Amino acid sequence: MDYLSRPLVLLLLCGLLVSSLWLVPHVRAEVLINEVLGDPDQDWDGDGEVNYKSDEWIEVKNDGDSVEDLSEYWVRDGSGEDPHLQLSGALEPGETAVFYGSDAMIWQQEQGQSTLGFSINNSGETLELLRTESDFSGTALIVVHQVILLDHEVENDRSSGWDPDTGQWIMFDALNPYNGAFEPQGNNCLPSPGELNICTPLVPVFGLTWDQLKSRYR
Ligand SMILES: [Ca+2]
Ligand SMILES: [Ca+2]
Ligand SMILES: [Ca+2]
Ligand SMILES: [Ca+2]
């Protein structure tokens, strides 16, 4: 190749690159943190024990209009750089998935890390959802969604999440009603791990034990 044709080839390659980028649809993360319970007081993961680490849970939702591969997503708390869990599975549009502290502990063990679970601080926490992004310089984890939990949200069996009707961040406090003045306020609805955040009130049913009642709302 002579000196004259080399810049021409470069120009052509650049043109091809720009036009191919132009044709690629804009990609943005559609998965979000939908609901969180950070101070468990019951056996949420169903392993027969109540544990402050393994029964914490984080629910994610696919808010987009195409199937999302969850293995591209990771969660971590606000205190460090390292993710606590690489998610797994796939989500159809509108679907939710829940991951328990026990899932995080298994993953951490597989990675040779300390089994800290999600480490959701009961006095308040920032949780981040990250996504694997690749470009010419390599692969990085980019924060795509963040939620902030205040002290009163992280109390025995209270969860916080997005209200599908109002779009507001709200507290699902039917199991531990909140009467204080801080936002978010409670809505007297039950936490809904793995389900859409549709309000189910706690209705006492005569003749059922407390455990039977709770299991109705899993
Ligand atoms: Ca448990
Ligand atoms: Ca906690
Ligand atoms: Ca608290
Ligand atoms: Ca939910």
Residue 56 to residue 98: CA distance in whole angstroms:
10
Determine the pLDDT at residue 135.
Answer: 86
Distance (Å, rounded) from C-alpha 58 to C-alpha 60? 7
Q: What percent of the chain has pLDDT over 90?
A: 74
Task: Tell me the C-alpha distance between 64 and 18, whole Å.
Answer: 26
pLDDT beyond 80 at 162: yes
The gap from C-alpha 197 to its chain's centroid, in whole angstroms, comes to 13
- Residue 131: name the closest of 35, 192, 62 by CA: 62
Average pLDDT, the chain: 88
- What is the rounded distance in angstroms from the CA atom of residue 156 to the CA atom of residue 153? 9
Q: How far apart are CA 218 and CA 44, in angstroms?
A: 8
CA 185 to centroid of ligand 2, rounded, Å: 20
Q: What is the mean pLDDT of residues 207-211?
A: 66
User: How far does the centroid of ligand 4 lie from the alpha carbon of residue 12, in Å?
Assistant: 51
198 C-alpha to center of ligand 4: Å?
7
List the one residue out of 50, 24, 16 whose CA is nearest residue 214: 50
86, 90, 155, 161 from 117: Cα distances, Å: 12, 22, 17, 20
pLDDT-derived band at 81 (thresholds 50, 70, 90) equals confident
CA angle 132, 137, 141 (to 5 degrees): 20
What is the distance in A from the centroid of ligand 4 to the CA of 191?
A: 6
Model pLDDT, residue 19: 43
For 140, the enclosing helix (H) or strand (E) is strand 138-149
| Dist CA 55 CA 157 (whole Å) | 10
The CA distance from 80 to 86, in Å, is 15
Q: How far is the CA of 13 from the centre of ligand 2 (A)?
A: 53
Strand partners, 32: 61
Query: 187 or 25: whose pLDDT is higher?
Result: 187
- The residue with tokens 């951490």 is 108
pLDDT (tens digit, 9 = 90+) per residue, 25-76?
A: 444 569 999 999 999 999 999 999 999 999 999 999 999 999 999 999 999 9
Residues counted in the chain: 218
Higher pLDDT, 207 or 137: 137
The environment of the single-atom ion ligand 3, i.e. residues with CB closer than 5 A, is 122, 151, 154-155
Q: Which residue has the higher pLDDT, 218 or 155?
A: 155
